[in-house]
């Protein structure tokens, strides 16, 4: 069974809170507990229309569901996701409060701050479809093959699945892939040119350059929105629009790199 980090794709519709309210705050404070009647529908508006509208983006870790998607995955999220209605001038939207919490993170082998996850197979029952982990309860939603396959079969658009774990992979296989990963990082380091501090680097990204430092890469999309990419074990960059940048990134030296597909 494979486990994926769930997010909206870069060309999905983007939502924002209306007024001074923070729509996700009440869910964040609930820490995976159902809100039930304590929830009062919050207002959101379309910040960016995007090309894909099946899985709008509000904030990482807080999935947004539309009726079309709920119909497809209803049996997979039943009793695992509380659907909280939102107010939008055009659309019927629900904020997903993921209440399925699985304590399966191998803390010693993981670095969640950098989206590096290692799970303890013995703590994974095998029937999971969508869940959160205690250490990242405010930041990440994970799904398994069952959820991903259902979405792909229904040809729903706007979902981003980043593989983070495979329960069928042996330690030897992981070590071999890790060596390939380290070799690629070493190659990137050998071929870097002039290096820049954060402020200069960020200005270059805003001007259309792609900039890299180790496993990290920053580049803007066609709309000028800046994405953070992390080179993963599968030797591909996985992209996201972060709510904030990890503090160590500000102290790193950056160099120009080739733009990557996102």
Measured CA to CA, the distance from residue 12 to residue 14 in angstroms comes to 6
pTM: 0.72
Distance, CA of 135 to chain centre: 15
190 CB burial (10 A radius; 0-12, 13-18, 19+) = exposed
pLDDT of residue 209: 95
**Cβ contact 230:115 at 8 Å:** yes
**Cβ contact 176:35 at 8 Å:** no
- In degrees, rounded to 5, the angle at the alpha carbon of residue 100 between the alpha carbons of residues 98 and 102 is 125
Helix (H, G, I), strand (E, B) or coil at 248: helix
Three-state secondary structure of 200-232 = HHHHHHHCCCEEEECCEEEEECCCCCEEEEEEC
DSSP string, 25-82: HHHHHHTT---GGG---EEEEEEE--SEEEEEESBTTB-EE-HHHHHHHHHHHTTTEE
Summarised one tens digit per residue, pLDDT across range 20-50 is: 667 788 888 888 899 988 998 889 999 888 8
Measured CA to CA, the distance from residue 53 to residue 67 in angstroms comes to 12
Summarised one tens digit per residue, pLDDT across range 78-95 is: 999 999 999 999 999 999
Question: Phi/psi class of residue 201: alpha, beta or left (left: φ > 0; alpha: ψ in -120 to 50)?
Answer: alpha
pLDDT of residue 52: 84
DSSP letter, residue 236: S
pLDDT of residue 21: 67
- The CA-atom distances, in angstroms, between 129 and each of 3, 8, 80 are 9, 17, 9
The encoded tokens of residue 88 equal: 């939008």
Helix axes 145-153, 67-77, angle to 10 degrees: 150
Residue 32's CB: how many other CB atoms inside 10 A? Answer: 17
Q: What is the pLDDT along the chain (262 residues), one digit of tens a residue?
A: 999 999 998 889 999 988 766 778 888 888 889 998 899 888 999 988 888 889 999 888 899 999 999 999 999 999 999 999 999 999 999 999 999 999 999 998 888 877 788 899 899 988 899 999 999 998 899 999 999 999 999 999 999 998 888 888 777 777 888 899 899 999 999 989 999 999 999 999 999 999 999 999 999 998 898 999 999 878 888 888 877 788 899 999 999 999 988 7
Helix (H, G, I), strand (E, B) or coil at 94: strand
Summarised one tens digit per residue, pLDDT across range 212-227 is: 999 999 999 988 989 9
51 CB burial (10 A radius; 0-12, 13-18, 19+) = exposed
């Amino acid at each position: 069974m494979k486990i994926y980090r769930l997010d909206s794709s870069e060309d999905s519709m983007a939502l924002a809170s209306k007024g001074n309210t923070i729509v996700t705050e009440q869910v964040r404070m609930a820490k995976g507990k159902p809100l039930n009647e304590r929830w009062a529908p919050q207002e959101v508006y379309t910040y960016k229309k995007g090309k894909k509208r099946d899985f709008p983006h509000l904030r990482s870790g807080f999935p947004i569901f539309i009726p079309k998607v709920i119909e497809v995955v209803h049996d997979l999220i039943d009793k695992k996701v509380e659907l909280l209605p939102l107010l939008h001038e055009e659309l019927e939207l629900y904020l997903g409060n993921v209440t399925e919490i699985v304590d399966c993170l191998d803390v010693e082998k993981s670095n969640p701050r950098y989206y590096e996850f290692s799970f303890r197979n013995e703590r994974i029952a095998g029937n999971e479809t969508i869940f959160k982990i205690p250490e990242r309860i405010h930041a990440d939603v994970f799904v398994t093959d069952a959820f991903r396959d259902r979405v792909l079969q229904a040809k729903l658009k706007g979902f981003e699945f980043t593989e983070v774990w495979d329960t069928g992979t042996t330690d030897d296989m992981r070590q071999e892939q890790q060596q390939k990963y380290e070799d690629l990082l070493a190659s990137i380091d050998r071929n870097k040119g002039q290096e820049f501090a954060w402020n200069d680097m960020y200005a270059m990204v805003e001007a259309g350059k792609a900039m890299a430092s180790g496993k990290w890469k920053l580049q803007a999309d066609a709309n000028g929105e800046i994405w953070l990419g992390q080179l993963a074990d599968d030797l591909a960059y996985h992209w996201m629009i972060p709510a904030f940048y990890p503090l160590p990134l500000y102290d790193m030296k950056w160099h120009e790199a080739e733009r990557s597909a996102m």
